[in-house]
Amino acid sequence: MENQIEILTIQFKTPISDKEIKWFRGAIIHALQNDNILFHNHTPTNYRYSYPLIQYKRIDQCAAIVCINEGIAAMGDFFANYTGEMTIGNQRKQMEIESLKPALFTIKLWEHMSCYKIKRWLPLNSRNYAIYNQIESLVERIEFLEKILIGNILAFTKGVGIFLEEELVCRITEVTRSYPIRNKEVNMEAFDIKFVSNISLPDYIGLGKNVSINCGIVVAEHAYLKADQGSPCCDKI
């Protein structure tokens, strides 16, 4: 069906910390018998700049993998050699699978606005970080972030082969917190926010930078407003 994507969420029973996600990713890649670019998004000489179709997550404090479209078939390479154990960092861990949740999800624009929250969102590169810091008005800062958020969502839809024909609307309703996180020896500004949008987005997909390693994780909350109404308070379902 048009505008549908396939998603497989693999939830493990093993608790994991945010800093261990990159080691978890490395353990998955190490377990593969055949190299597959979808697991790491780079070649020996370059990067795969398309939207990551295999994303390594921390869901309910435990390790998880979210696979989209072609990423689902690629996981067969992992399961072919899956032993139930992995070395994460310098620790050997049992990695029992809690659940496998396949889904078909329809991405489309609606007349109502849906509520979402996003954690560890990295919207700012070095160029727009400088611009953001020069903006004194809080309202203008929010508007600046909203434009980036729209771009992040459009990058996601394009990356999964969906092109929107009508206007995408996003409004940030709350910046819960902002904080620095370390990535590749560089400090980056992360945000936890709530926003409303007229698009349907699946839970646990990533938006922004570093989505393959637990950044920009989206979770839907409550949807009940018409697109031309004011901002709701996002009550969690």
Nearest to 231 by CA among 195, 192, 198: 195
Nearest to 168 by CA among 189, 183, 147: 147
Token pair 């795969």 is at which residue? 48
Q: Is the torsion defined by CA of 100, 73, 117, 14 positive or negative?
A: positive
Output the pLDDT for position 79.
Answer: 84
Output the pLDDT for position 76.
Answer: 84
The reply to whether 108-226 shares the fold of 4-105 is yes
DSSP state, residue 122: -
Q: What is the CATH number of domain 4-105?
A: 3.30.70
- Crossing angle, helix 138-159 and helix 126-134, to 10 degrees? 160
Output the pLDDT for position 235.
Answer: 40
Architecture category of domain 108-226 in CATH: 2-Layer Sandwich (3.30)
Output the pLDDT for position 218.
Answer: 98
Q: Indicate the domain borders of the chain.
A: 4-105, 108-226
Map residue 141 onto helix, strand or coil: helix
pTM of the model: 0.88
Cβ–Cβ < 8 Å for 77, 61: no
List, run by run, the mean pLDDT of 10-residue segments along the chain (237 residues): 88 95 88 69 60 95 96 86 87 93 96 95 92 95 98 96 94 96 80 97 96 95 55 41
d(CA 144, CA 146): 5
